Each structure stands twice: as C-alpha cells, then as structure tokens.
Structure 1
Amino acid sequence: MRSLDKKSYLLFIIFISFGYLSSLMSHEPSFSLLYTFHISLLIVCMYYVSTISDKKSILFIIYALLISHTSLVLICLLNIIFTLSEQQPLNPYIIYSGFINIRFFNQVQVFILPLLILLLKFRKIQRIVFMVLFLNLLLVFIGQARGALLSFLTFSVLALILKTSLKKQILKGLVCLVVSYVSFYVLDSLNQGGAEILRTSSSGRIDLWQNTLSNLTWKNLLIGNGPGVFEMSLGTSAPFSHPHNSLIEIFNEWGGIALTCIIVLVFTTLKKAFRHLRKHKNDIATEAIFYSFTIGLTYSLFSGVHVMPVSQTLLFIMWGLLIGRLYKNKNQPLSINVYVKLFLGCVFILGWAFYLQKAIEIYNNIDPDKGYIYGPRFWSVGQRF
C-alpha cells in the first residue's frame, strides 16, 4: 500500500485533532463535530484515492468526469439557444438549469477546464474538445464568474511558466478564452443584456474578509470557533455561512495551528509536483491533475469550493490522485497489527453511527416554515440549531 511520509501523516493527524478540539469548545459542538467528521471522511477518501497511480485508471476517471460534466454543458447550450430564440437576455439562473446557486456549477467547472486542456493534445478529438472548452468558458462569462476566470488565467500563466508539454494546448485555451468572450459580447449585445463580466465590485467579499479578520482573537491562534459554524451578516443581507476564502475560514474555524498544518501539507504537495513535472515533462496525466488541483485551490480563495459538497469532494479526489502519482515509486508498506486494525475499525463504526444519527436528528428538526438557506451544510439545508 502506498503511503505518504511520516511528516505528512502527523500533520494530517494534528489538523484533524485540532478540528475536533475546536468543535468540542464551540457553541455548537454537535453540529461542528458532525462537520469535522465529514472532513475526516474526505481525508480518508483522499488517502484511498492516492493508491490509484497508473495512467489508465486516472484517464478513466478524467473521461468519466468530462462526460458527466459535458452532459450538463449541453443542457446549458440548449437553454442558450432557447433564450436567444425568444430574444431574452442571457440570464445565468435560467441557462444554468437545475442550479439554485450558479456558483455551484462554476465551482465544479474550474476542475474540468485543465482536463479539457489536456484532451486538446489528442488530434482526433481536438475539435470536439475545443468546442466543449468554448462552451464552458462562454458559460463562465454568462455567469459572471470572475473568480473562475481569474483562476483559469492563473492556471494558464503557471502552465506557461513551467514550460511543460501542454504549452501549445494552453495557448489554444487562451485563444478559446478570447473567442468565447467575443461571442458572449456579441450575444449579449444582440439581446441588450448589458451584463458586466468585468464589474469592479467585490460582492461584499472584501468587507466579509475584513470583518472576519477583525473579529479574530488570541484563541484563534490555537483553536478556532468550531468547524462549520461560521455565520456573519453585512447590513441587512442574508447571513453568509462561510467567508468565501479557504485560508480565512480555516483560521477562523479551525485555528492557527490547523491552518499552519494544512498550508505545509499543500505546499509540500505543490513543491513535489513542481519538481516532478520539471523532471518528467511528458507526464501529462500528472500535469493535468496538478493543474486541476491548483485551479481548485485558487478558486477557493474567492468562493466556496472547499465547503460545497461536490466541489470539496473533487478537491480531495484531485489531491489524492496527485499524491498517488507523486509517490508511485515510493512504496512504504504500513504494518498494522490485528489489534490496532480492530480498534480503528471500532472507531470508524462508532464515528459513522454518530454521523448518521446526528444527520437524521438534524434533518428531522428542520422546520420548513423557517425557509431554507442553500449553503454547504447539505444535511440541514442551511438551518442552524
């Protein structure tokens, strides 16, 4: 079984331990413990995904993700056609069919963009891939997802700096970006939509970050306020359930020690990936996963990639796949005696039972008359107890 180095294991243990400690000392311990256990399961998932390192398996995962996502994009294309035929403005809430919050779509979308860049390398399907990439970027402009756009540009610049084998595909992707923007501008002008993709307002994010940082105390240097319990209102607006920045959120909810651990873990992975890609310039599978993970991290600095159910799962899966590729030649057998396995099995079963019991309890306590807050707490549809 492939594994991380001992330092990484220790950092993950410290990170999760301080999450549970922070949960126990929060004002909503049951809710916070449930959230922390959820993150623990994602880390376990990441570890098992890291055992997948062969190129064929990774390409199969990439194809499965792309096919699933492309089906959604094609539905959005139909909505664009219907909107244009009715001479209506390009309303993202209509075009992004089935997404109550259009950012949920963008948060998944950013992970797909680097994988499409990878497939531009295959000539037989290059035109089809270019069209799918064009539609994705067009949807980014229609949804006015500035954070996703900035993440894509950051990923493109990073790829050009590395000078790896996908340089030509990155340039084609940037050409596709320009074509999609021109198309968006023309379509929006024809229907007099007046959308401003490059608007200068921060949508309240800067004020949210400033208020969150100003409310930090010495307690946050050690332990946070409790994972998953963030809530803040700006004026008369509905309360934000997360600060839309992964670093600020971890510092606020998990504490400074946990934040330091996760930063070191991510930095170590990225550093090793840099070295690997410079040494293996034709390893396109690792390169695509690296960019997908990196673009997800970048977007988490502006949006809720790290807290929304689907996007956070993709973030940990990409991290696990990247670790699997980077450590594929370093087999470190992990020897655990039968008593330790039995103990860990009991802990897992008890933890899962607690998770299930609390999820059902919270769900049964939901009061439909209070309305629903569509946010990352999917087991309670946003309601707090």
Structure 2
Amino acid sequence: MALPLDDVALVHNCLEYVMLRMQAITLVTTAYALLGLLFVAFCFSAIGMWHLGYGWHDQQRFYQILLLCACAPLAALLPQAALSGAALLLLAGLFTLGLYSSLLAAWPEWALREWSRYVGLLLLALVASGLRVRAAWEYFILWAMAAVGFIHAYQFLVYYLMAFVTGIRMLDADILFSGFSNPRFFGQFQVMLLPVMALLIEKCRQQRRTAIALLLGLALVTQWCIAFTLGGRGMWLGLLVGHLALLLVNYRLWRILALQVGAALLGCLLFLLLFKLIPQWLELDPILRDNLRAGLSGRERIWQMAWEMALVNPWLGVGPMHYSAVYNPIAAHPHQVVLQWLAEWGFPAAFMALALGVWGLQHSVRHLRAVASNELDAGLWLAILGALVLAQVDGVFVMPYTETWLALLIGIALARWAKPATPLLAQQLACAIVAIPVLVVLGKVLINEAPGLFQDYNVHMGVQRIDGAPRFWSQGWIPNRGVAD
C-alpha cells in the first residue's frame, strides 16, 4: 500500500534532517580533531626542541600562533559559552580601542600582532568554553597538561642522575630543567600546573584509580621539589594567595588544599635529600638559586618607565607591544600586566580589562560557594588566580606557553561556571569578524617570518650586539627588527 503524499514528504524531510545533522556532527568532530592535534603539538613544544636554530620561546610562539590561526576561523562555527551583554560590551570596547591604538602606533604591524594574539587567545578560550557538553575533551586538556608536567618531572630526575653518572661531579640547578629558556618561565607554568595535577589526583582518588593517582602524586611531589629548587618569589606569591583565597571562599574544598600541603612537604623533603644530604655525603657544593632574595631585581625601573609612558599617552597608550620599542637594559616588557596595559593600550582599555577580570573573579566566587562545586572548580580557581597574581610581578601575559594555557583554563572555567544559554547573535558575528584579521596578521607571520627567524636573530645579534629580551620573539626589541624590515 502506497503512503500518502504528505507522509512521503514528511519521511523525506526527516531523512534530510538526519543527513544534515550527521554532516554537522562530522564537521564539528573533524574541527575538534584538528584543534586537538595542533593542541598536542603545542603541548610538546615545551618538551623537546623540534626545530634547529630555534630557542624554547620562539618554538612555543610558533606553535601558539599555529593553534590560534586554526582556532580563529572555527570559533564562530563551534559551540561556545554565552557571555553576558556587559561582558560583550567591555570586550568590544577593549579591542576597538586596542585596534585604534595599533593603527596609530609607531610600528603598526607589530602592534597588530599583539592585538591579534590577544583576540586569538579570546577565541581559543571561547572554543574551550564550548566543551560544556564534551566533558571528555575538558579532561583531555587537563590530562595533557599533567602529562607535560609528568615528563618534566621525569626529565628533572634523569638530569639529576646524569650529573653523577657522567662523572662531571657538578650539580647546577639551572641545567636540571628543560622546556623553557628561564626558570621563571617554568615557574609561570608551574603556578597553573600544580593545582591541575592536584585536582586530577583527587578525581582519581574518588574514582578509586589508585595506581594512576599514585603515579601522578609522585610527579606532583617532584614538581614541588623543582619549585623549591628553581621557583621564584612571584610563583610562591601566586600559589600562596590562590590557596588562602580558596580556603576563605569555600573551606569545604579543603581536601585539595590538604593534598597540596602534603605534596609540598614531601617535595621539600625530596629537595633536602637531593640538594643537601646527597651533595654533602658526596662532598659536592651544589649551585642553587636564591629564590627568596630581597629587592625587586630592577623591576622598579621598568615599572617607572611604564608609568611614565602611560602618563604621556593616557588615552590610547604608545601602542600594543610598544613598550619594547624603547630600549632599556632590563626587559622588553614591564613585568606587571596592569602597567603593561596602561602604557601600551591606555587608561580606558586597561580599566575595561580590569573590569572584565573583576567580573570574572566575582562570578567564580559565587560558583565556588555553591554546594555543587567540586575539586575541578577548586583546581581551576587556584590555577587561574595564581597566574593572575603572578602577572603582577612577571610577564605571564607575554610568554606564549603560559598565556595559551591560561586562556584554555579560563575557557574550561567558563564552560563550568557560565549559565547554560545560547550565545547572542552579536557574539557569534563578532567572533566571525575578528577571526579575519587574526588569521591574516598571524598567518602572515607564520608564512613570511617564522621560517627564517633564527637567521634574522643571528643578524641582529651580530649587528646590534643586544642580547635577547623575550617579547613576541626571543629578540623582542621592535626597532631592531623594524629597521631590518
């Protein structure tokens, strides 16, 4: 018996809908798979040197830009958390002022790179926020971070053993770590890594995955040992403020705090064993850093320079990244994120960025106080707040590896803490529009500059005789590059 025409049309429409739905799911899955592959490459950029002639900073910047270029055109197509109208207005004002400042800067091309990178990091955070319904992907990001920390801990112990096996009989703490050109940059990563590793251990304990929890716990203890060996004052400040703040916000999440205290104590004992007892037994004098030295290490000078720039250019600043357009013998960035934004973006943009930060912290506090909050929320809070505190005395928003991980963790936090709602059309349109300059500007850097970067660096070192000062690349002084361009 033949079906009525209306029923045939209904079946046909249903089949079309199913096919379109399957195609959409396939495209989304393919997009996530591509981003996942580039994300893994980014993770491994702090484990091994894959490109001859490149330093750690430049290699990590290369893979960061590659990830942002892939993420930008996909951001408007993939699910994302809904931002409030106030947050959207603040972001629109912030990046509009930043774009105007970039176009008026002395080196617009370099200013647009900084502007595009920040927009790309925002899009990356929004893509990560869309993983609300894909919890497995959220934990994939966190486990990838823990895997990097595990490998670093393993490398640290291997390098320590090699100091004795090779017969050199020299124990220098500065050559026992890998993945970063400076121990301070490693500390920026650790301030986020330690809470993430702790939350994963607590998660494994709840799921009775004892073997994995024990293995990860050993890596966490080793990471604390590395922190006692190489960690700076800013890292300790970030960890301390984050953990004390969590205790004040919600003492019911004390288990993750207790876990960190236990791991820190064991890490301290391991540090005493490796760098005090064993060297004393072998009659060695280890070369260690003074992690709690007094003074600001020249920061007062670069802070003063940033403040003077801000006062001279209060409305739009000197231009994104343009603190590094005026040479000083200390650093190409002021090691203080608020002063950096005041000097380079101007007072209005800096206040908008601060308002967004305050809004985010207030929103997270409300969620942490809720009954449903758990170890994942606690770990994200500790990692993000610790990095923001560290940014007040160090270049967290300059180093590629650090700022990318911070964007990813903020995205996961948005997925956890944002209200379940469909994003406004204005949010999706804005993502599609700003993705174009991000792809053009950063894509041009990848094609035209990255392949010959090490040769360009050697030329500037030979002509200018100025040592590397990391900003965008490891040689961060804009005029030194701009003249050659």
TM-score by length of 2: 0.71
- 1:252-331 matches, cutoff 5 A: 252-327=343-418, 329-331=419-421
| Structure 2 CA distance for aligned equivalents of residues 203 and 36 of structure 1 | 29
| Structure 1 CA distance for aligned equivalents of residues 475 and 340 of structure 2 | 20
| Structure 2 CA distance for aligned equivalents of residues 225 and 256 of structure 1 | 11
Letter in 1 for 2:291: I
Query: What corresponds to 1:107 in structure 2?
Result: 188
SS of equivalent to 2:304: helix
Residue 97 to residue 88, structure 1, CA distance change in 2 (3 Å): farther
1:84 Cα deviation from its structure 2 partner? 4.9
Residue 120 to residue 166, structure 1, CA distance change in 2 (3 Å): farther
Are the aligned partners of 2:457 and 2:475 in contact in 1 as well (CA < 8 Å)?
A: no
Are the aligned partners of 1:269 and 1:323 in contact in 2 as well (CA < 8 Å)?
A: no
CA offset digits 1:38-58 (Å, max 9, x no partner): 211111111221112244432
| Structure 2 CA distance for aligned equivalents of residues 162 and 347 of structure 1 | 36
1:244 Cα deviation from its structure 2 partner? 0.8
1:164 Cα deviation from its structure 2 partner? 4.4
Q: 299, 321, 337: which is aligned to 1:205? A: 299
| Structure 1 CA distance for aligned equivalents of residues 102 and 436 of structure 2 | 20
Letter in 1 for 2:184: R
Q: 470, 479, 483: which is aligned to 1:375? A: 470
Letter in 2 for 1:334: L
Letter in 1 for 2:158: L
SS of equivalent to 1:160: helix
- 1:57-68 matches, cutoff 5 A: 57-68=137-148
Q: 147, 152, 166: which is aligned to 2:239? A: 152
- 1:150-229 matches, cutoff 5 A: 150-189=237-276, 190=279, 191-193=284-286, 195=288, 196-220=290-314, 222-229=315-322
1:233 Cα deviation from its structure 2 partner? 5.5
Residue 347 to residue 99, structure 1, CA distance change in 2 (3 Å): closer
Letter in 2 for 1:307: V
Letter in 1 for 2:321: G
Q: 27, 30, 40: which is aligned to 2:119? A: 40
| Structure 2 CA distance for aligned equivalents of residues 368 and 146 of structure 1 | 33
Letter in 2 for 1:311: T
| Structure 1 CA distance for aligned equivalents of residues 129 and 162 of structure 2 | 43
Residue 23 to residue 335, structure 1, CA distance change in 2 (3 Å): closer
Structure 2 spans left out of the alignment, 5+ residues: 1-78, 462-466
Query: What corresponds to 2:223 in structure 1?
Result: 136
Residue 228 to residue 96, structure 1, CA distance change in 2 (3 Å): same
1:346 Cα deviation from its structure 2 partner? 7.0
Letter in 2 for 1:113: L
| Structure 1 CA distance for aligned equivalents of residues 127 and 321 of structure 2 | 25
Query: What corresponds to 2:425 in structure 1?
Result: 335
Are the aligned partners of 1:8 and 1:265 in contact in 2 as well (CA < 8 Å)?
A: yes
1:304 Cα deviation from its structure 2 partner? 1.5
CA offset digits 1:253-294 (Å, max 9, x no partner): 111111111111111111111111111354322222222111
| Structure 1 CA distance for aligned equivalents of residues 149 and 337 of structure 2 | 25
| Structure 2 CA distance for aligned equivalents of residues 160 and 346 of structure 1 | 42
Residue 201 to residue 4, structure 1, CA distance change in 2 (3 Å): same
| Structure 2 CA distance for aligned equivalents of residues 269 and 281 of structure 1 | 19
Query: What corresponds to 2:162 in structure 1?
Result: 82
Letter in 2 for 1:332: T
Are the aligned partners of 2:189 and 2:402 in contact in 1 as well (CA < 8 Å)?
A: yes
| Structure 2 CA distance for aligned equivalents of residues 344 and 204 of structure 1 | 40
1:335 Cα deviation from its structure 2 partner? 3.5
Q: 166, 169, 176: which is aligned to 1:95? A: 176
SS of equivalent to 2:322: coil
CA offset digits 1:111-151 (Å, max 9, x no partner): 11111221332331443333212111111122142211221
- 1:249 and 2:340 equivalent? yes
1:31 Cα deviation from its structure 2 partner? 0.9
Letter in 2 for 1:300: A
Letter in 1 for 2:306: T
Are the aligned partners of 1:3 and 1:334 in contact in 2 as well (CA < 8 Å)?
A: yes
1:88 Cα deviation from its structure 2 partner? 4.5
Query: What corresponds to 1:50 in structure 2?
Result: 129
Q: 133, 152, 167: which is aligned to 1:72? A: 152
| Structure 1 CA distance for aligned equivalents of residues 414 and 124 of structure 2 | 12
SS of equivalent to 1:304: coil
Query: What corresponds to 1:384 in structure 2?
Result: 481
Residue 127 to residue 187, structure 1, CA distance change in 2 (3 Å): same
Are the aligned partners of 2:150 and 2:216 in contact in 1 as well (CA < 8 Å)?
A: no
Structure 1 spans left out of the alignment, 5+ residues: none
CA offset digits 1:326-348 (Å, max 9, x no partner): 11x431343379xx96x975764
Are the aligned partners of 2:83 and 2:423 in contact in 1 as well (CA < 8 Å)?
A: no
CA offset digits 1:140-195 (Å, max 9, x no partner): 12214221122112222122222344312312312332332343244333232363
Residue 99 to residue 346, structure 1, CA distance change in 2 (3 Å): closer
| Structure 2 CA distance for aligned equivalents of residues 25 and 177 of structure 1 | 49
Are the aligned partners of 2:320 and 2:345 in contact in 1 as well (CA < 8 Å)?
A: yes
Is the radius of gyration larger for structure 1 or structure 2? 2
1:216 Cα deviation from its structure 2 partner? 3.1
SS of equivalent to 2:161: helix
Aligned length: 377
Residue 184 to residue 88, structure 1, CA distance change in 2 (3 Å): farther
